[in-house]
Structure 1
Amino acid sequence: AVYGVFFMNFRLEDMPHKLRTDIVLSDRDTHEQFSDKLRFIFIELPSFRKEEEECVTDFERWIYVLKNMETLNRMPFKARKSVFEKLEKIVDIASLSKEERMKYDESIKVYRDSLVTMEFAEQKGRAEGLAEGMAKGMAKGKAEGKAEGKAEERRIIAGQLKRMGMSFDAIREVTGLSDSEIDKL
């Protein structure tokens, strides 16, 4: 769904005065809803009348800050909510000089580049580890398969020699199998 959120620092005369109004589009002729994936939300800031100490939810805190941003000389709720510290930093960034802003933007670029580099290294490490693990697993499986194949081959030969009437001592010497293994054949 696509939402358009509009903050109005005024009241529309033709609308009921309420803080939040959700609007959906409909066809003018048929009055059928145009789409359930497109909505508009209007926030009428003058309808919000709470004071700082009355704000309980994050939504109320955001609306308070937006409504009073021009008159605030400190950010409210700062001690209780880190989200407002982030908002205060954004406001501080907007007041940087051109040179300070360029330095800030460069530091952000370096930070983001390092995150991308670390993520790439982590993915590469995982891929290399997976490849190494698969190679070791395949080598171990191959070795076990060869050993099992050789053991099976010795049992087949021992069975053939036993059917030919060869003694257990001779079969044991040729195949390396124990008397109990030869007896089971």
Structure 2
Amino acid sequence: MTDKIPSSSLDNSLFTTTSKTTSTTQIITPNTSENITTPIPSLPPILSLKTDWVFKWMFGQEKHKPLLIDLLNAILQGKEPPIIDLTFNNTEQIGKQLDNRNVIFDIYCTTSDNTHLIIEMQNIKQPHYIDRALAYGITSMNKQLNTQSNWHKPLEPVYVISFVNFIYFEKDSFISHTRLNDLDTGTAISSKLNLIFLELPKIKKNQLDYQHSRLDAWLYLINYLGEIETMPESLTLDKTFREIFQKANTAQMTAQEFEDFIRRNKYHWNHLIALDERYTSGMAEGKLEGLTQVAKSLKTEGMDITLIQKVTGLSAEKIKQL
């Protein structure tokens, strides 16, 4: 049952979008007294869930587990029993898959009834992304085979759920669920390996029934959270969605939450800083091409357009065209 609270008890300050900026953050590494000062670009007022590292931060850690369970139950409704609990697994799978390279998932978890779930946020369009999703699912199935001493035991279901920020299938529906079927009869041969794709560009605000559909409400937040200044009232009454908005609102972060956010995403910030250095070099040489390339790289990383403007100085219209 959805947990709602009376509108009279809402704290309106949770829904303001005052930006928080900082040029450096001082981090003390665990078990040491070493101070590490890392330059951090300005954060947008509201973090976009379509950004890869924000998605993993929001849904891929133990203390945010109820949020992930709620999202997965909305996606898998009618396909699997409701998820009561889940366990986060190591996202790096070492083996001979994918040309002997390690396979790294965004989020990898197992439910209490042993269903394996791999969740991906994919912003960069890849012509063979379905092959990659298949490889992810097969990796999880191989892991089951490697740990089972009894080969007569059936495999547990595997779902690879991909939020893709591009159009892949030639149909109007934004959600596709594929598995192994007989081509002649359409009958399911196996329901153990499932690929679910949610194509975000096909999702339109005026087509979402977020007041009555839990999945539509989630898709509204995932697709538009970084763009909206206020949430629809029906979503603000929902405890889970209020929590999502509050966590994504950088102005509402406590000092501890902000430090934790920076610590968990330090790798991604360092990557952004490296790109920013390329920008500085391009400026020194007076090359517009350098600015454009940096903006394109940042955009493919899923960065907010406003943040790209701050880094490159290019117009929003120019960035959207890249």
Q: Same fold (TM over 0.5)?
A: no
Q: Greater relative contact order (Cα 8 A, min sep 6): structure 1 or 2?
A: 2
Normalising by structure 1, report the TM-score.
Answer: 0.42
Structure with the larger strand share: 2
Q: TM-score by structure 2 length?
A: 0.26
